[in-house]
Structure 1
Amino acid sequence: MSADKLQDLLRELQQQGAVVTSDLRDALAVALGRLPLVSQREFDTQAEILQRTREKLARVEAQVEVLEQALAEREKGNPPGD
């Protein structure tokens, strides 16, 4: 092959590569646009809400445990039918 033909082939390959790269970039942008993504700010906000909810749940669970223990103690002191 002559040097000119090689240069022409190289240019053609570069152009085709650019087209393929552009098409892939467009396809990726469309695919990412369809994903249910949230911003970092929204993620952080939801993480904070979840943390507070977990803390509240832990407090409620502790309260329920105390109430269950108190009820068990009360039932021990007052047999059924009294």
Structure 2
Amino acid sequence: MNDFAQRFFQDLKAQLPQAAQLLPKKELQAALQSSLNRLDLVTREEFDAQSAVLQRTRQRLEALEVELAQLQAQLDRPAPENDK
């Protein structure tokens, strides 16, 4: 989040050069940090880990759907009749 805050301040300074005089950096950074902390954000690593879990879950679900379809097809086939 500090990287984000630094980029935000750089962009703000580029867009509004007088902003540094109007809003002290420490106060603005504290307000920004407080706002960001209230958001439900995750790190890129957490996002990537959850994406990987979701991908594996989808693959497993697809495999189970195929298996279920095969089992259903077996149950739907008529049983062979014994000639005795």
Shorter-chain TM-score tier:
0.5 to 0.7
Deviations 1:30-82 (A, max 9, x none): 010121211111111110111011000000000000000110013xx47xxxx
Q: Number of residue pairs matched? A: 63
Greater helix fraction, Structure 1 or Structure 2: 1
Shift of residue 22, structure 1, vs aligned partner: 5.2
Aligned match of 1:60: 64
Q: Which of 1 and 2 has greater Rg?
A: 1
Give yes or no for the alignment of 1:36 onto 2:40: yes
CA distance in 2 between counterparts of 1:15 and 1:45 reads: 38
Q: Where does structure 1 lack aligned partners over 5 or more consecutive residues?
A: 1-12
- 1:14, CA displacement in angstroms? 7.3
Highest relative contact order (Cα 8 Å, sep 6+), 1 or 2?
2
Identity %: 35
- Structure 1 residue 27 displacement after superposition: 2.0
> Where in structure 1 do 4 or more consecutive aligned residues deviate above 3 Å?
13-16, 21-25
Q: What TM-score does the superposition give when structure 1 sets the normalisation length? A: 0.61
What is the rounded CA distance, in whole Å, between the counterparts of 1:18 and 1:72 in structure 2?
73
